[in-house]
Amino acid sequence: MEMVPASSLCSTKLLCCCFLLLLTFLGESISAKHRRYPRLGLPKVGRKGHPVLDDHQNDFELFNYTQTLDHFNYKPESFSTFQQRYVINSRYWGGPNTSSPIFVYTGDEAGLDGDVSAAGFMTDNAPRFKALLVYIEHRYYGTSVPFGSRKEAYRNASTLGYFTSEQALADYAELITYLKNKFQADNSPVIVLGGSYGGMLAAWFRLKYPHIAIGALAISAPILYFDDLTPSNGYYSVVTKDFREASESCYETVKESWSEIDKIASQSNGLAVLAQKFKSCSPLNQTSELKDFLDSTYCVAAQYDAPPEYPVNVMCKAIDGAPDGSGVLDRVFAGVVAASGEEECYDMSYGGFDDEALDGWYWQICSEMVFPIGRGSNDTMFPAAPFVLNEYMESCHEEYGVYPRPHWVTTEFGGHDIKTVLEKFASNIIFSNGLRDPYSIGGVLENISDSVVAVYTTEGSHCLDILPASDDDPDWLVKQRDTEVKIIEGWIAEYNANLKKTKPQIQM
């Protein structure tokens, strides 16, 4: 294990960005075509009033752990290792003798930079629980890359073949076990938690490694958006609902705008006219570039429709409030400006994401994380873009030379008839959602059992409850977090009671 300075983890400026993972889209060909679908991820920027860092930044220590490359084979190359980053905050920990818990953040599809500040639920509640805080970086993201360099790790499907959620979960299991031994914390209960893809990992970790973690908080985790468990158009149906609830006229404007774009594009010099109207930084080569940009803008607003700004309302207010006589596209552009701010030009190709993180996520969704997200011709406010599995698989094969396994997630982790199945063998999992989040439609929204529970709010958005608490948090968000905390307290109390019963008594 190698310790590195905490100051090298991330700069304050970078931490202001929190999680870089807002939303992005995948082309029919991964490298570039027009067919895209929404990405998972936590908010890039915290809400107003949220601290970028708490007052104890120096409490975070960054380490490297020598991690096993392949946990599931005994080939000589499987015993190779790589350096995996993790962060520890022991400021509030009560110590092993008190059976104080260990909270473990299951790293997601990005580098660790920013996690320690954005995942405020952990630091906010550490004093209450006297918890040791651990944040683990997901393999192949950040600096936790095997084969000596990022270039080699991403070289081809052979080196990327070790890049799976199963390997990541095994990484967490090995590292948590190591840390419990290091801190002599055999009696300290472990709670895993994460948001979005990280929330999926937290839930799956509890199912796969119940002997290591006594419970999991899975925030905004769409574990049911695989196979045919969730309607393909579910994501975009929720985006449409969010906009329609904000304003019927706004919804109608957006719905009408797609045909208007096609109408102008069909005219002489039409793409140039559209580029000028939307202040594109580069010439438009096809209408899909503009449509994808608008698609992304609407989806980001809905997925992260958080208080106090409520981006959907901001966009719709601008669209509806455009000057009298404004055309449909003028109104739409007013919404873009309201959402993105006044800029000299708008980059239609830039999603605001780290290219390195995107490379990793593209591999994941072309291997096992196949979300069948699409939409029909008249079931959302967007133009038709059905999900066609065969085309999707061919595009991935063209890019990587391997085909995805679209049914593997439900085979490995389950999902079909989830209530009956999990009721029999699962326990101590909180599935937290906000119903304004389009990905909530693929989440667990009803209690499975007394200890596998759904906690949701109708007003909430993607991963909102994992962010740091703020004085301007609405009551429903405060109650959501309080409910989660009380459930976790119950798990720990039960664990400690059982530990007391089984712990050998000293004879006098």
Q: Confidence class of residue 350 from pLDDT cuts 50, 70 and 90?
A: low
Digit-coded pLDDT (tens) for 92-143? 999 988 889 999 999 999 999 888 889 999 999 999 999 999 999 999 999 9
- In the residue annotation, 196 being an active-site residue is answered as yes
What distance in Å separates the CA atoms of residue 304 and residue 388, rounded to the nearest whole number? 27
Looking at beta carbons, which pairs linking 7-14 to residues 24 or more positions away fall under 8 Å? 8/62, 9/60, 9/62, 9/87, 9/112, 9/113, 9/116, 10/113, 10/114, 12/52, 12/53, 14/113, 14/114
**Closest CA relative to residue 115, chosen from 215, 17, 213:** 17
pLDDT for 15 beyond 80: no
User: What pLDDT, on a 0 to 100 scale, did the predictor assign at position 58?
Assistant: 77
Cβ contact 172:166 at 8 Å: no
Give the chain's mean pLDDT: 89
User: What pLDDT, on a 0 to 100 scale, did the predictor assign at position 29?
Assistant: 38
Residue 27 CB: number of other CB atoms within 10 A?
Answer: 17
pLDDT for 408 beyond 70: yes
Digit-coded pLDDT (tens) for 189-225? 999 999 999 999 999 999 999 999 999 999 999 999 9
Instruction: For 233, list phi and psi in degrees, rounded to 5.
Output: -85, 10
Q: Confidence class of residue 12 from pLDDT cuts 50, 70 and 90?
A: very low
Token pair belonging to 451: 């200890």
pLDDT for 16 beyond 80: no
- Interior/surface letters 129-146, b for 16+ CB within 10 angstroms, e for the rest: bebbbbbbbbbbbbbbbb
What distance in Å separates the CA atoms of residue 215 and residue 421, rounded to the nearest whole number? 18
Cβ within 8 Å of residue 251, ≥6 positions away:
240, 243, 244, 381
Q: Confidence class of residue 38 from pLDDT cuts 50, 70 and 90?
A: low
Percentage with pLDDT > 70 across the chain:
87
- In the residue annotation, 437 being an active-site residue is answered as yes
Cβ contact 438:299 at 8 Å: yes
Digit-coded pLDDT (tens) for 62-71? 999 999 999 9
- In the residue annotation, 462 being an active-site residue is answered as yes
Of 108, 115, 242, 437, which is the active-site residue?
A: 437
Of 99, 196, 232, 470, which is the active-site residue?
A: 196
What distance in Å separates the CA atoms of residue 52 and residue 39, rounded to the nearest whole number? 24
Mean pLDDT of 19-28: 36
Q: Confidence class of residue 47 from pLDDT cuts 50, 70 and 90?
A: very low
pLDDT for 436 beyond 70: yes
What distance in Å separates the CA atoms of residue 184 and residue 182, rounded to the nearest whole number? 6
Digit-coded pLDDT (tens) for 252-310? 999 999 999 999 999 999 999 999 999 999 999 999 999 999 999 999 999 999 999 99
User: What pLDDT, on a 0 to 100 scale, did the predictor assign at position 8?
Assistant: 35
Type of residue numbered 179 = L
Digit-coded pLDDT (tens) for 483-492? 999 999 999 9
Cβ contact 135:86 at 8 Å: yes
Return the biggest CA–CA distance within the chain. 96
The per-residue DSSP string of 191-233 comes to EEEEETHHHHHHHHHHHH-TTT-SEEEEES--TT-STTSS-TT
What distance in Å separates the CA atoms of residue 479 and residue 211, rounded to the nearest whole number? 30
What distance in Å separates the CA atoms of residue 361 and residue 166, rounded to the nearest whole number? 15
> Does a cis peptide bond (omega within 30 degrees of 0) precede residue 43?
no
What distance in Å separates the CA atoms of residue 237 and residue 487, rounded to the nearest whole number? 32
